[in-house]
Amino acid sequence: MAKKTKPKYDSTQLALYSICNSAWDNCSANLALFAGYKSKYISAYVTGKKAAVTAAAALPNDQNRERLLK
């Protein structure tokens, strides 16, 4: 029997995606400040990260993955 994994965060996946999107929106709104911290913080970088969050949110959850494997 497979061991159930314990999440490393204490929230739902939906809340996690929402928090990530809010963080990247904040970064985008304050891009000059973030770019001053690290030069990789440019518009294209933030857009790519937001796309990654959207792609992750579109993946099936644990229950749906389990059904797909059967």
**pLDDT at site 29:** 97
How far is 49 from 47, CA to CA, in rounded Å?
A: 5
User: What pTM did the predictor assign?
Assistant: 0.73
How far is 44 from 31, CA to CA, in rounded Å?
A: 11
For 18-49, write each residue's pLDDT tens digit.
999 999 999 999 999 999 999 999 999 999 99
Are 41 and 35 contacting, i.e. CB atoms less than 8 angstroms apart? yes
